[in-house]
Structure 1
Amino acid sequence: MNFRKFLFPFSILYDGVTSLRNYAYDKGWKDSTEYEIPVISVGNLSVGGTGKSPMVELLISILNEDYKVAVLSRGYKRKTSGFLEVQALSTAEEVGDEPLQFKHKFPEVTIAVCADRREGIEKLKLKAEVIILDDAFQHRKVKPALSILLTSYSNLFIEDLVLPAGNLRESKRGMERADIIVITKIPDGTAYAKLQEVQHRMQLKEHQSIYFSIIGYDDSIYGKTESLPLEYLENKAFTLVTGIANPTPLVEFLEQKNFTFQHQKFSDHHHFSTSEIEKLQKEDLILTTEKDFKRLSNRLQKRALYYLPITTVFLHKEEGAFEREVLNRIEYFRKY
């Protein structure tokens, strides 16, 4: 039995509060700042697990050739406060795992963390031509030039309830603020008719576009000083360590490869305790996510620690269309 359904009365209350807040912003009663440089918001309606990090990385790749790009995150669960620019030698404890991941992948891009997005934008706009806001769909104090909303195929927001009975941060009515909606983590082999059905149920507005994507897994695994082909894991027993919101797609991918592993699952952005690190230190071979690797690599004194990168891969040759739409919307904003 799903006991969360008994929390539905509290969801009605929560929906009322968040809806009133959104109404105040929509009417202009609460201030929302628009900037002279384009700001791209990437976020979701659900709590975690929709693929925001791969989307931010994809946007950096799309924009980095033509614009000076900066990324602003709140640095979830970091142990510092205020505005902080991420450096190559920063730690996950200082800036958060995802911003550190972005910096290591794109060292030439300015990455910063700040809970106050407007303060962060004011500091970044002096050195950037486009700013990407990570996990900012509910941050109404900023009016983005382009808003990208993600939702996982296995947990579509149109089928969910607001907290605490469901996993939505706000009502699904909030989708109307999005310019682009991306359905993520679609299982391999999903019939195109199923995707058309989802698109129909979304009831998109005239200004909105929709895209469909799967998780793309790298052909190699990466450690502190080396990379190995994914096939290295064949006929080896290893431990999978995850501290992400939804590890199910990764687990299923590894099972389809017929790999032999034990899964140690932790909460999203989990800070590993000393005792947990000591236990993991005894494992012979560990595979983890790229985000978790940022938190583990400095604390686990073992060579056999690897991560498997993921990317956003669009279905039905939509990647070119997505890239063109992002660039066209940014260019239009800069002109007008």
Structure 2
Amino acid sequence: MSQRNIFYLLGRILLAPFALIYGAVVWLRNRLYDAGVFSSIEFSPPVISVGNLSTGGTGKTPHVEYLIQLLQYRFQVATMSRGYKRRTQGFLLADAETNALRIGDEPMQYHMKYPELVVSVAEERITGIPRLLQKRPNVEVILLDDAYQHRSVKAGVNVLITDFSKPFYADHILPMGSLRESRSAYHRADVIIVSKCPPNLDRAVANDMIAKINPLSHQKVFFTGISYRQPYDFFSHEPVSLRGKSAVLVCCIAKPEPLVRYLQDEMKQVHVLSYADHHYFVSKDLEEIKEAYGNFEAEGKVIVTTEKDAARLHLHYEKLKEWNVPIIVLPIGVSFLFNQGNEFDNVVLQYVEQTIAENNQMFYGSQEI
């Protein structure tokens, strides 16, 4: 056994007691919900929860955006997120004065990208949803972002996302692994999405993963891959091309490797400046970025960043504009493999349409009485 494997094994042994304690606490909490000691509240509008068992990096945000795009032209849609690393507390609705510091980078990304979307944040969804419906009674569908562990709210559809490279069934509970709760918690999901799959994923490999997931009879398993969309200028929002250019990539995402590989295939040269996930840029960071760009000896050089990072860079909009350098935003989306997109859409739309129809029938039926 190599020295590295020995240290890894020793680390796992040392962390095992902490994982046992953490797992026991989470197990007890879930059992109390299952037994009805802790109650879950169901709200009238259709509620779809998107989340994961691990601590991050599964590609949750582009899947939420997929749902927004699917639903926004049919219904008045609202998102509710915790607002990770925001500088505020409690329930907030996004408005014209909103920035990433107030609501968090991912909600800000939704707010900037979808003008008709109602974007809200609240640490406690159980109290946030009534506030949302009080302020925006026309909301017809609520998307709960990163809420798989928020069992106080009973979602109509629970979407669980797991990373192809590290599926939940091969992971361990914190701190031994990255799972927030035990593997068996996948039972609560209605839909399981294996994300970040290679675009040419073999069907036999997918079937093997399905067998290891061992879905319950009511659960559907889908496979998605990352797809990079039309890049656009940070300042003008005009579409631009990456071809023939070289990039200083500025990113603060949990797993930047696929993005780096994509840019290396698309562009001449790529210099990477990677920061911690959800990192808020300070003056020192901006100077580092400016210096890296200035020292980057490459033809057609530009700064490239993701939409999530752009939401935080927007806090320094005026200063960045003074640099007079091209900054390109690269959107990240998802594509369903094996022609599963329509099937997933139907699962979501049937639930939403049926729930709204039942609510209307109850409302108008009670008026007639």
Q: Distance in 2 between matches of 1:220 and 1:265?
A: 19
3-state SS in 1 of match to 2:29: helix
Q: Does 1:13 align with 2:35?
A: no
Moved over 6 A (4+): none
* Cα offsets for 1:278-323 (capped at 9, x unmatched): 2213325311111001111331523422210011110111111111
Where does residue 81 of structure 1 map in the other structure? 89
Equivalent in the alignment of 2:247: 238
Distance 1:15 1:211 in 2: 28
**Number of aligned positions between the proteins:** 334
Mapped partners of 1:221, 1:42: distance in 2: 27
Query: 1:216 and 1:223 mapped to 2: Cα distance?
Result: 20
Aligned to 1:326: 348
Q: Secondary structure at the match of 2:222?
A: strand
Partner of residue 304, structure 1: 326
Question: Residues 132-177 of structure 1, C-alpha deviation per residue, up to 9 Å, x if partnerless?
Answer: 1000000111111110000110110110001001000111111000
Q: Residue 142 of structure 2 is aligned with which of 131, 140, 153? A: 131
Paired residues of 1:147 and 1:177 also in contact (CA < 8 A): yes
Is the 2:231–2:328 contact (alpha carbons within 8 Å) kept by the matching residues of 1? no
Describe how 1:239-318 pairs up with structure 2 within 5 A. 239-282=248-291, 283-284=293-294, 285-299=302-316, 300-301=319-320, 302=323, 303-318=325-340
- Paired residue type of 1:5: R
Q: Is the 8 A contact 2:48 2:158 kept in 1?
A: yes
Secondary structure at 2:212 match in 1: helix
For residues 230-262 of structure 1, the C-alpha deviation after alignment (integer angstroms, 9 at most, x for no partner) is 334x2x332111111111111121123353111
Deviations 1:86-111 (A, max 9, x none): 12441111111111110111111110
Deviation at 1:9, TM superposition (A): 2.2
String of CA shifts for 1:189-237, please: whole Å, max 9, x gaps: 22111011101111000111011111110133432114343334x2x33
- Partner Cα separation in structure 2 for residue 189 and residue 286 of structure 1: 30
CA contact (8 A) 2:48 2:157 kept: yes
| 2:226 match | 215
- CA 1:146–1:226: 2 relative to 1, 3 Å: closer
Is this contact kept in 1: 2:100–2:315, CA < 8 A? no
* Identity %, equivalent residues: 38
For 1:38 and 1:97, the matched residues in 2 are separated by 25
Please give the secondary structure, in 1, of the residue aligned with 2:148.
coil
Alignment partner of 1:294: what SS?
Answer: helix
User: What letter matches 2:303 in structure 1?
Assistant: I
Match of 1:229, SS state, is coil
Q: Which moved more, 1:306-315 or 1:325-334?
A: 325-334
- Say whether the 8 Å CA contact 1:297–1:305 is kept in structure 2: no
Contact kept, 8 Å, 2:232 with 2:239, in 1: the verdict is yes
| Structure 2 residue 139 is the aligned partner of structure 1 residue 161 | no
CA RMSD of aligned residues (A): 1.6
Larger fraction in helix: 2
Task: Confirm whether residue 194 of structure 1 aligns to residue 205 of structure 2.
Answer: yes
Tell me which amino acid in the other structure corresponds to 2:66. L
- For 2:361, the equivalent position in structure 1 comes to none
Q: Secondary structure at 1:219's aligned position in 2?
A: coil
Q: Give the distance between the partners of 2:98 and 2:48, measured in 1 at CA.
A: 25
Give the structure-1-normalised TM-score. 0.95
Higher Rg of the two aligned structures: 2
Q: Is the 8 A contact 1:211 1:314 kept in 2?
A: yes
